[in-house]
Structure formats: C-alpha cells, structure tokens
Structure 1
C-alpha cells in the first residue's frame, strides 16, 4: 500500500478522494494550512486539489491556493508523482473542449483570475520536469447539505422556501460530473505509470440545461421557479470532450446527473425535515 498526500483533503473533492484511498487500504496525509513539514518529509504520491475561486473577495488567496503553494511543492518537495486538479472552466466561450484546444481569456468574466491561475499552475506542472498529470473536472456535484454550489443551493431553496430564483437563462447549460466519478478517475490516473505530462478532462460528456434541472425540481418538490432575465454573464460552455479519458479508461461510465439529482432531492428532504 502507498502513501498519498492530499492537499485540499478536507474539501468537497479532496475528502471523497481521501475516503476512496483509505477504502483501498492506502495511508493518507492531509496537511494543514502553512504546514512547513511538507518540504521536509516524503510525501509519496501527491494529489493537489486545494484551490480557491473567490476572485472578488480574496484574489490573493486565489493566487496562493492555485499557484504559490503548488509552485513551492514542485521546486522543493519530495514526492514520486503528482496530479493537479484544474478545471474545464478554462473552455468557457471556446470553440472546442479537447485537451489541446486553444483557450480564451474573456474580458467580461469576473472570475478570469481563477482561469488564469489554473493555466499558470498547469504550465508550471508541465514545465517542472517532475512526474505530473493534470485533470480538468467539469462542474462537480454531490450530496453536501451546506454547500454553496449551484445544485445543493437550489435544492435547499426549493425545500425550505418553496421557491427558487434562477439568475440564469433557461437554456444555460453545463456539464455536471459526480464527485464519486472525479475521485475514482483521479486515483486511477495517479496510480498509472504512463500519465506523466498528460491532461485529461473528467466530465459526463454532455450538457444539462437549467430548464431540465428546474423541471425536475418542480416535479419533486412542487416549488415555483422564478426566472430572472439575464444573459448569464455571456457564459457558454461547449460540451466537454472526454474521448481521451475514455480511450485511456474504456470502462469509464459517468453517472447520470438527472437520476442523481432526483436522489439528492430525496436525501435533502429527509435531512432537512
């Protein structure tokens, strides 16, 4: 059994990765913030899923979490291999979503700092000379009662308030992927000996519109949906290309987001009542 060091191991994705690793019998180490011993001890296999996306309120924390710590690890730390968790948000308003696609920095994107720091982090990984693999997960969902993510938030509003305000258009669509799938793919890739220098999208491979999600929410909770006429800040996401991942992992079959969403609503009903 191997030692895995999981940065961000107490977060939404990281905690699921830790749980799956420990279920396999591996040892895990989840460093606390500002733990200087990470540059002195053997970290084994590193999974870096620490991050910050609050570009408006804490831009320097975004840079620190997404770039600075990673850069120091790549230069100073002792590890066998590392996998960096990036994001398919890099494909926003792009023409293509395969791993070799040209990427666009959108001037009207209020979270472009997030995209820029993810790109910088990826480049540092690829040019570090270390054994590093990069994964770009799409919008990750899962059961997290107090999460501020989109799906948990609208479920809570539907159950607690009987009304959901949608500040997006009906045709606003994204690719949603289960946290269970992301964790298992990350572990499989980092355990492989031939992923160094590679980038993999991790997604369901299809987009779900806000209208489909809203219709299911109404069906399950009898809530009302209030659509606010905005343009979703010009955010358009091409369907995520997962062909490279499927070629590498032919057995990868992502979970059905609408099926899982219905089950999530039932679980939230039981917990919140």
Structure 2
C-alpha cells in the first residue's frame, strides 16, 4: 500500500486514477482547491491530472491549472515522484510524434495557449531537479454524461435527438485512448524508476476518422448524420509513437474506441434514462 496524491482527482482522468488506486488498496489523497497543507505534508507519489483547456473563456485559469500550481509543487512540496499529465495535442501539424522531436506552435491555432502552457509545464518538470516524469495522453474518451468533449457530445445527441451535426471533415482523424488505459498507465509509469525524467506518449497508436465514428453511431442508434460544409480547422495529427510506453509497460494493449463506442452508447442510454 502506497500514498498517492492526485491533483485533479475529481476530474475526468483524475477520478479514474483515484478509483483504480483505491481498488488496488492504495491511499489516494485528493487535495481540495486552495488547500495550503499541500506544501507542508508528505504527498507520496504525485499524479498531477489537473488542467484547463478553455483558452477562449478562462485563459488565466488555463495558466493557473496547467502551470502555476505545478510550479509551487516542484519548488516547495514534499513528494517521492511527480507525474505530470500533458497532452499529445502538442504534436498537432507536426511530422512526427516521437517524444524527443522538435515542436512548433501554430499561429492559427486558437487554442495555442493550451499547447504553450503544457510545454512550459513539461520544461519546468525537467528543469526542476526533482524526480519527475511526464505523460502525453491522446484524446481521452469514456462515459462522461455532461462533458462537452467531442465523443460524449455527439453520443448524447445521437441518443437524445436522433441527429448528429458534424462540423468537421469526414477524414478528420485523431488518436483516441480510453480513460481507463490512461489511468492505469499513469499509475504504472508513476510507480517505476524507469520513467525518471521521461516523456511518454499514452495513446492507441492509430488514428480514427470522423467518418468511422459516424458509421458506428448511425449503425447503433439509427441517427441521422449531418455533415456541415464549413472552413475546417487546420489540424492534422501524426500517428502517435508508442515506443517509450511499450519499453516501460511490457504488455500495453490499449482499447479500441470504435469497439468501446458501442458500449458507451449503451451506458449513455441507461444513464440518460435514469436522469
């Protein structure tokens, strides 16, 4: 039994980390917002899953969640190891997704603040001199009834209204990884010295198109898919490289979003009926 402190432990990823830690018999401490004791008590192994991506409406909260609190922990907190949850979004429009490749920030990206803060946070971790590691999950999915994220939103619409409006191109493709796989990977990576000062991708390792997702929704719910002709964002993502994670987790077999989407539809339907 070990002590883990999970920042963002009530959020989408963090709550799954807490659930799995407690199922394994570990102590999972989730600090409340503005808890001053975090700089005084022993935090054990820290999993930093706090974050904010709403660059348009809350830019200063993006900085606070992604960087500022982390900086305090790295300077003053007592912990054995800290794992920071970053994002594979930093690979947007890049040629490669290897963790040690050069990265650029796109001037026409309206969420570039998110990428910038994630990269600043990563660099702070690596320059801190502390025992740290960094994971870059791809697009995390799971059953989250009220989430504004792409997959939960379109699944709700398919079930509730029998219609899904798609404001992306049919061939728009991204890597999707299950929140369960992200949580279990975070725990495994945070718990081994092999990850010291490493940046590690956590992903499925292949991209799924919007058309493939739409096909599953249509088949399972009989919904109407409406493709809208708009100016699509300049976003493309290389296949996520999994070399680093497979060197640390020998049996790494992430779930497939198209298979899980069928279960998500069923779970959403049950949950929405109850509500």
Whether the TM-score (by the shorter chain) exceeds 0.5 is yes
Asked if structure 2 preserves the Cα contact closer than 8 Å seen for 1:172 and 1:232, the reply is no
Gaps of 5+ in 1: none
**2: distance between equivalents of 1:81 and 1:248?**
16
Kindly report which structure 2 residues correspond to 1:113-192, keeping only aligned pairs within 5 A, or say none.
113-192=113-192
- Deviation (angstroms), 1:145: 1.4
Unpaired stretches in structure 2, ≥5 consecutive residues: none
Aligned to 1:9: 9
What residue in structure 2 maps to residue 37 of structure 1?
37
Q: Are the aligned partners of 1:4 and 1:44 in contact in 2 as well (CA < 8 Å)?
A: yes
1:1-273 correspondence runs (5 A)? 1-273=1-273
Q: How many residues align?
A: 273
1:135 touches 1:202 (CA, 8 Å); kept in 2?
yes
Report the TM-score when normalising by structure 2: 0.98
CA contact (8 A) 2:189 2:248 kept: no
Q: 1:147: Cα distance to partner?
A: 1.4
Superposed CA RMSD in Å reads 0.8
SS at match of 2:233: helix
**2: distance between equivalents of 1:92 and 1:256?**
21
Q: Is the 8 A contact 1:169 1:231 kept in 2?
A: no
Per-residue deviation, residues 164-188 of structure 1 (Å, max 9, x unmatched): 1101000000000000000000000
SS in 1 for 2:61: helix
CA contact (8 A) 2:176 2:257 kept: yes
CA distance in 2 between counterparts of 1:242 and 1:194 reads: 16
- 1:272 CA drift (Å): 2.1
